[in-house]
Structure 1
Amino acid sequence: MSQQEYNNALHIGGSVETALNGRYRLDPFEIIKEAFSQTFKHFWSFLPATLCLFAAQIGILMLMLTLLLGAPSHLFEALVGQRELTTDMISSVWLANFTSEVLIAPLYAGASLMGLSHAIGFRSKPRHLLKGLVFALPVTVVICLSATLQSVASMIFPLLSLYVAMAFSMSPLLICEKRLTPVKALTVSFRAVNKKLFQMATIYAVVGVLFLISFATAGFALVWALPFLFNVKGVIYREMFGVGVEVTVSQNENKEGASHSTTNSSSPDQDTFDA
């Protein structure tokens, strides 16, 4: 029995060129609808990964607050009026939050890749959260730059930081999927997002409402909001920049030539997508 393999590259969705020219379709209703569908379909396989990501960020945040304030409870006491809220506390909270965002960057990239997998029809597993570790350095750099720019923007006008976060939201996936450098990824994300700014703002407004509901339900709704966020990012990225997928077709040929069988490794029900 001999085996022959044929590799074919497929491209799903838009491209960097069309994204930068604004020649891509971004319907907020369709994006939200598809993201909800993907979240429902992959809920139980995606939830453990997003909860691990959330737990890692909260853990780092609490550790930093402990190191900077002595105990996180000091901050909570200040928020309820039992202790004075000082500028040192505010600075400590900013530093703790900044540190947690930067340190979980590889895991954030992994969750983003999982959402992208769902957007092109592939399944994911909780362990795929670690796929972002391959891009740890460039993703950490881009998250650090983005977080810094958000901080500067918030000093100018608080809502401006939300715009900056949205404008650079595609940069981690551009690093992982297109292999762009951090600065190039930030630039491309910024330019592409601004071509469809109203549509992007509408989509992220819906995501923001879900997170507000999460706070109102003491965090319970996060079990849906977190997977939904990354599925939204995956669908948006596919429509903006497209995704390159390599398809391997294996053909098994009988020595007597009696039978042939062809298998395609790109079946949506198989776990075959790699960034």
Structure 2
Amino acid sequence: MDATLRMALLIDADNAPAAKIDVILAELARHGVANVRRAYGNWKSAHLQKWEQMLHPHAIQPVQQFAYSTGKNASDMAIVVDAMDLLHSGRFDAFAIVSSDADFTPLVMRLRSQNMRVFGFGAKQTPPPFVNACSTFLYLDELGDSGNGNALAPASKAKPKTSAELRQDTALVNLLRGAVDSADGDEGWAHLGPVGHYIANRASFDPRNYGYPNLSSLIEAIGLFEVRRDNKLVYVRNKPKPQPAQKTARKRASAEPTPTSSKPAQ
């Protein structure tokens, strides 16, 4: 994990819950330092009162953005303009966008085209284009609230999905199988490091969105892979597919000795 990234945190305060700010900052602290922290919205609105209470304790700069027309979130354009200015300053390695608005998808794609890591944070209903555009996306619904006295508490508080629920997620199954197949070696074993790297290049994946703290625990829970540990190294491979019951029964029958008749010869 790279803990030296220089990051800019841009918050769409009109479209994000203030109660999640501690865990958002704790997550970013695992990767580097968010030297720029800005929250955008109409600070004259009572709707942002909870965000106002979070500004000074977390060194977040409020950016005033009046609503120029009814029903439009004027903060979107202000965030895009500032993001471009910050990008061209050359002072950052990564951006964090806190919003559930799919309108930020082109911005994220532009940032990533400049080799920027983009961490996304949003609600469960965040549209897939925005989620998939990010390098990593965490659902705020799955993160613990602020105010528990421990900002570095485990991020996932959701009940882990069962093996059956995980297997029903076709996209997840295909992603994990493809990652293991891409990195397998002798006897089909794949080191977990390259598996995780493959996944990071293919999707904005995070096992905590499924209720698991890391990739290895998720892979074990889904029950489709064999897991082998060698000291601190973890290896995985696809479980062999079970043979059809009828075919197995025929094999078992053919392997049994043929009974001989005990009737005396005439």
TM score, norm. by length of structure 2 = 0.22
Higher strand proportion, which one? 2
> Which has the higher relative contact order, 1 or 2, with Cα contacts under 8 A spaced 6 or more apart?
1
Higher radius of gyration, 1 or 2: 2
